[in-house]
Amino acid sequence: MVTKGKCSGFSRTTMTVILAVVLVAVTGVVPASADPTPRILLAGDSWTGFMLAFRSFREVLQEYEGLDRWIEVGNRTAEMGARVFEMLDRNFQQTLTEELTRYPNIDVVVITLGGNDILRGSTGVDPNNFNRKVKLDHCYESSSGQPWSEPSECVEWLAQSVKENVSILVDHILSVRPDVRVAILSYDYGARLPRNPAYSLEEMHLAFVAVQERIREIALSRDRVEFIMNFGLMQNIYGIPSDGYPEPGFPEEDIPAGVPPYPCNDPAEPDCAFWPGGFPQYLSPMSSYIDQDIHLTAEGYAHIARRAMDLHIEEWLNYPKAMEILPLDNKATYQFQVTFSHPVTGVDLSDFEVYINAKSGMKSMDVINVQAISDDVYLVTVDMSGSEDVAFIKVLDDDSIVRIDTGAPLGGPGIGNGLFVFNGDYEFFDLPEAEDDDFEGALGFLYMASMAYEHLLGELGLSFNPDYFDANGNFFQDGSLDKPISIPGNGILDLWEFMVIDAVLKRPDLDLSATGGLTYQDVRTAWDLNIDSVQAALGGKGGLADIILPGLDTVLAAFYTLGDKDSSTLVGILVGQLGDVDEFPTNMDPQALTPYDASNTVQFLSRFLGLGGDADGDGWRNVQEYQYFFRDGLEAYVNAVLDPNIKPNNGEGKYNIGDFVRIALMDRPYFKSTFQWYHNGVPIESNKDGRIIGADTFALDITSLQPEDSGSYTCTYLSPIKTGGTYPEKTYGPIVISVRDTSGMPAGGVVTLSLLVLGLGMGGVRVFRKK
């Protein structure tokens, strides 16, 4: 959940997105049956987001025999700051469908939801105004003019609204994958006092409990859904210190671990000392929270995951399931290799259905043999009746397939629990944390982590997709923290700028000083200073920020090393604002960041690496080489920037028929500029046959020149300098080219023409006139 913090300047949406994006991520491509395999999908708000970031289930699964090969995913479905009604408004159901389809081995969906709806408001509460966002603060305002008569009634209506919305998501999950099970986890008591004096700590805690009790009813009324109550868990495990007494929320004396009632999952349980658990009049122990609010430490979330495992998920994951159907052949006899999660028995012909995609529609074929390759791998043979169409099979479930060692039926007790229909391999990316100088890895990590926030990033005009990420523009001229929020770029993809640094750091012998360019030592010294400075500002290497914001130090240090004012300003803004967000007190020290100083040419390398820098000293600015070589790819750009012998060509000159020419804009445009190339004043259109490419980009390619291509070329674009509130249109050029046809000219004619040209260049004009 996200609660009101002390961050000013940046909007809460901005900071929530930026923090959330760099918090979680997921690398490698694996077949369905390989390890690790995703079996748990995390969906919901910051609690599932932090569990994904801390790999809570992955760590805890190591403690359970046979379950260490399974892991969790959720980079698109665990969303910091999520409110249920907003998820429904933007069709979060479609995202759930895509992820449940993408990962056919998912058997458990873990949900945490409702907290943000309580604190920040939910629709559907006020019967007189459905779209009004009612939050807990409203419940404790004067009831005069409100549709409720007392706070408890308001809380109940709020709880019912949240319950209805969560029900929609749960029912959707079960409709997409009737074989999965859903575990809804409650929160625990918070570690901060209410910011609104209208209600007490106990009233705030009990409001959370009331909402979660209604959500619990979803599980009570549905098969395959379980609710896990966690209120009081941290108090029970860690005890409640009296450090702040006599302030509210602290006991007069320390309450030892084990004394606060352990949370009950059902008030009817014989050993349920207090429903739901713990002491709601007290805060949870600060030692179990990373933010003195509602977000737990890695150890705290491990306790939450472990409780969920012990109550339900361990049992669910120990049910045998089909893990992979791999087609082996496509001839008259079609075979499939079917792999199960555990050794099983009872597998026979009746456990499979096979179909082909025939022109007449889906046509059923016959399974003629099932052979055990091992106790967990079976070979299924299908009679195709001579057909060579593509076939696929389903694993059915009538509880006849059981684990050899435990007797547990496929998918658990009940017909249909073990249904499996996915055929073939699928891709699963589980990104490892990037090293300090792994620029591509750091951005890839951020991009995978950002997928749950694509809708919010769009509002910021920002994407962490390396193919689009560009965030180091002139913030004070082009950016805005007011809606619509805008984070400007400089016109060069950030990954491309970073990979120049990367290329230099991999070449210790690089020395371009002879042409006025950079050296390896220049960049190594600057990089070492900047990564140390940034890491110190973020709380130190291995600190909390480094753990929950992996890759951020690399990206920020790279911007600092580029060294221009715009890139460095972005770093200062982000570090300063992150340090002010009290939901994430990561022991940051923004003052440790070296202040930007253009005269500090040791640490800030704008003369080499900035937008207008010249890394190789060949006289061409980096932005010019970017605009010329962009179409040839990242490697071509990096090579050009670091090799004074590779230079752009403005395109002007004489050509033969069939020659290639590139005419690139050599001025810097506005980063959101549109472009239009003209030939003799007439707009050019790119050809479908590919002869003319990029007529609406900053580089025009003509792959096979023709005589009619001769003439003057210009390009209109928007200036990067705002004038009178707008970006004025400018014209680049003209660039004049001529194309000559030598195909019909005799060989002697070519020689004569060449001599004539040579003579004209050597005073031949005067000799000719004397005749």
Arithmetic mean of pLDDT, 249-274? 92
- C-alpha 731/C-alpha 696 separation (Å) is 14
Instruction: Write down the pLDDT at residue 476.
Output: 87
Domain 40-317: give its CATH superfamily: SGNH hydrolase (3.40.50.1110)
Q: What is the pLDDT of residues 207-218, one digit of tens each?
A: 999 999 999 999
Rg (CA), the chain: 32
- C-alpha 122/C-alpha 691 separation (Å) is 56
Q: Which two tokens stand for residue 173?
A: 């999950």
The domain limits of the chain are 40-317, 322-403, 439-609, 649-740
DSSP tally for the chain: helices H, then strands E: 25, 21
The strand ranges marked E within 342-416 are 344-345, 352-358, 361-374, 377-383, 391-395, 402-403
How many other C-beta atoms lie within 10 A of the C-beta of residue 765? 10
The mean of the pLDDT values for the chain is: 86
Q: What is the pLDDT of residues 83-120, one digit of tens each?
A: 999 999 888 999 999 999 999 999 999 999 999 999 99
How many other C-beta atoms lie within 10 A of the C-beta of residue 512? 21
Q: What is the pLDDT of residues 136-170, one digit of tens each?
A: 999 998 878 899 999 999 999 999 999 999 999 99
Burial class, 557, CB count within 10 angstroms (exposed 0-12 / middle 13-18 / buried 19+) = buried
Closest CA to 493 of 460, 464, 519: 464
- Pairing mode of beta strands 676-679, 344-345: unpaired
Q: What is the pLDDT of residues 562-585, one digit of tens each?
A: 999 999 988 887 787 666 654 454
pLDDT over 50 at 553, yes or no: yes
Q: How far is CA 603 from CA 2, 252, 506, 532, 676, in A?
A: 37, 53, 19, 11, 39
What kind of architecture, by CATH, is found in domain 322-403?
Sandwich (2.60)
Domain 649-740: give its CATH superfamily: Immunoglobulins (2.60.40.10)
Which residue do the tokens 């040209």 mark? 757
pLDDT over 70 at 459, yes or no: no
Q: Per-residue confidence at 464, pLDDT binned at 50, 70, 90?
A: confident
Q: Per-residue confidence at 296, pLDDT binned at 50, 70, 90?
A: very high
Instruction: With beta carbons less than 8 A apart as the criterion, state whether 49 and 23 touch.
Output: yes
- C-alpha 239/C-alpha 233 separation (Å) is 10
Q: How many CA atoms lie within 13 A of 391 on its CB side?
A: 30
User: What is the torsion angle, in degrees rounded to the nearest 10, for the CA atoms of residue 556, residue 562, residue 563 and residue 564?
Assistant: -100
- C-alpha 514/C-alpha 651 separation (Å) is 27
- C-alpha 202/C-alpha 361 separation (Å) is 62
Instruction: Write down the pLDDT at residue 15.
Output: 44
Q: Per-residue confidence at 547, pLDDT binned at 50, 70, 90?
A: low
Common-topology check for domains 40-317 and 322-403: no
